[in-house]
Amino acid sequence: MSDTRKSYPLIDATEPNLIEETFDYDLPPLIRFDGPLVEYIDGEPVHFDPKSLATRDFFITDTTFRDGQQARPPYTIDQMVHIYDLLSKLGGPNGVIRQTEFFLYTKNDRATLDRCRELGHAYPECTGWIRAVPGDFRLAKEAGLKETGMLTSSSDYHIFQKLKYKSRQACMDAYCEVVDAAFEAGVRPRCHLEDITRADIEGFVLPFVERLMRMSEQVPEELSVKIRLCDTMGFGVSFPGVELPRSIPKLIYRLNQSVGVPSSRLEWHGHNDFHKVHVNGATAWLYGCDAVNTTLFGYGERTGNPPLEGAVIEYIALKGDLCGIQTEGITELAEYMRSIGFPIPDNYPFVGRYFNTTRAGIHAGGLRSDERIYNIFDTTKLLRRPPRVALTDKTGSDGVALWVNEYFGLKGDKRLSVMKVHKVARWVRDQYEVHGRMTAISDGELEQQVKELMPEQYAKYKGSPE
């Protein structure tokens, strides 16, 4: 065998290459492509151009009040109105968070919808969610909604085992009857193809959607059917080469190209049963779904849905621009949700209490010399969350200095050196070496020590110790 491997001589440098075209610290790291995505469909390579994302109007939709609320006790009306207000602020004037959906069944459901609309925000647009029952469109129409989702389950698990239809034909006819009722009511139907990743795509999904497309040709464009691909059990798989019905690229291609549903009318709705929920949503964007349906902090039925805030960060990474998104709204939403008793794990990305907190002394040293070394992006600027250190036996003097400087709010040349915090560093060290402590040191304990051991600096930066 001949050695055909290329040789890679060292490219020496005296200045670092920080790859800032990707890791622009002012934005989440960008996702840059150097070629097409390729999926084999019917044995032939099909190219998907990810660079089209730069110009495509793809967006986020929200189901915090519907799927998100199915997994928890109901929100009060005031809570929902406040969350809606914050979602609007986060998504910005371009409507990156384009729509959110509401139940319509109770008096409270309808009052919530009215109060959200009274805020006068252009986005998120309010849509409904109803059962696939013709009479339910009356609710959507009376509420003045232009669009509502409806259940049109697509797998035989649902068609036969749950809904007890005698045949697929009977099921499809019943669904289409409801779609007709929506058209008559002047409400755009969004058909939720429940359990599509476990459905017979050739045998039911494509014939059904083809029929929906034909029906849509008979009505004005603004009433034409939208399709939501519901990965109800989280079976969808993102990578190429997977067969239907689990392949997300193939599912979207079939609906988009084989039966002609435009990208603007395709939406992905995932679940996190296999830890794939976020990347599956992003994959849907890449392969031609313009909408990815999400919930705040991923909270939803069972294991949850694509986290809205994760989709927001992914959106910026794919677009390479904030696009009007007010990223600090993510922190504001998390603070509000915590205040109403919504649990957010400490290590949860972007909003967890410790998401950008390091415990290792060597990491703290890196953070102190250049925070980019151990911080994912400028979390102070984008999320109002400066990188932190939690003090343990592994932290060392660098970590203590970082904590104290952060606590005093000191920047640049004003930052205190490790020598200036040595008494606090000694106290921390003794907690573990002398007193045999086994737990991390809380912010409250550190504050007390700073007050006692650094009284001059405390008085200077925090006011007089009492």
Partner 1 sequence: MATVEERVVAVTARVLQLEPDQIKPEHAFTTDLGAESVQSVELVAMFEEEFGIEMDEDAALSVQTVGGAVDFITKVCKEQGVDV
| Residues within the interface to partner 1 (CB under 8 A) | 361, 396-397, 417-420, 422, 425-426, 429
Taking the least distance from each CB to partner 1, the nearer of 246 and 423 is 423
Taking the least distance from each CB to partner 1, the nearer of 246 and 394 is 394
Residue with tokens 């602020």: 89
Taking the least distance from each CB to partner 1, the nearer of 317 and 453 is 453
Amino acid occupying residue 265? R
Structure tokens given for 180: 């007709």
Closest distance to partner 1 from the beta carbon of 421 (Å): 8
Closest distance to partner 1 from the beta carbon of 398 (Å): 9
Report how far apart the first and last C-alpha atoms of the chain are (Å, whole number).
Answer: 79
Taking the least distance from each CB to partner 1, the nearer of 224 and 397 is 397
Residue 423, phi then psi, degrees to nearest 5: -70, -40
Pairing of strands 357-358, 388-389: parallel
Closest distance to partner 1 from the beta carbon of 437 (Å): 15
Taking the least distance from each CB to partner 1, the nearer of 206 and 416 is 416
Closest distance to partner 1 from the beta carbon of 25 (Å): 23
Taking the least distance from each CB to partner 1, the nearer of 117 and 422 is 422
Closest distance to partner 1 from the beta carbon of 401 (Å): 9
Closest distance to partner 1 from the beta carbon of 395 (Å): 10
Taking the least distance from each CB to partner 1, the nearer of 67 and 398 is 398
Residue 35, phi then psi, degrees to nearest 5: 175, 175
Annotate 341-366 with b (16+ C-beta within 10 A) or e (fewer): ebebeeebbbbbbebbbbbbbebbbb
Taking the least distance from each CB to partner 1, the nearer of 229 and 402 is 402
Taking the least distance from each CB to partner 1, the nearer of 161 and 417 is 417
Taking the least distance from each CB to partner 1, the nearer of 71 and 416 is 416
From CA 194, how far away is CA 161, in angstroms rounded?
Answer: 13
Residue 220's CB is within 10 A of a number of other CB atoms, namely 10
Taking the least distance from each CB to partner 1, the nearer of 196 and 404 is 404
HSE value, Cβ hemisphere, 13 Å, CA-based, for 268: 39
Closest distance to partner 1 from the beta carbon of 108 (Å): 59
Taking the least distance from each CB to partner 1, the nearer of 115 and 420 is 420
Structure tokens given for 339: 């205040």
Closest distance to partner 1 from the beta carbon of 362 (Å): 11
Structure tokens given for 265: 């009318």
Closest distance to partner 1 from the beta carbon of 364 (Å): 12
Residue with tokens 């050695």: 3
Residue 154's CB is within 10 A of a number of other CB atoms, namely 30
Closest distance to partner 1 from the beta carbon of 357 (Å): 21
* Displacement of CA 48 from its chain's centroid (Å): 23
Closest distance to partner 1 from the beta carbon of 446 (Å): 15
Long-range interactions of 331-338: CB distance < 8 A, separation 24+: 331/383, 331/384, 331/385, 332/86, 332/89, 332/90, 333/83, 333/86, 333/87, 333/90, 333/296, 333/309, 334/297, 334/309, 336/82, 336/83, 336/86, 337/83, 337/296, 337/297
From CA 117, how far away is CA 61, in angstroms rounded?
Answer: 16
Closest distance to partner 1 from the beta carbon of 279 (Å): 40
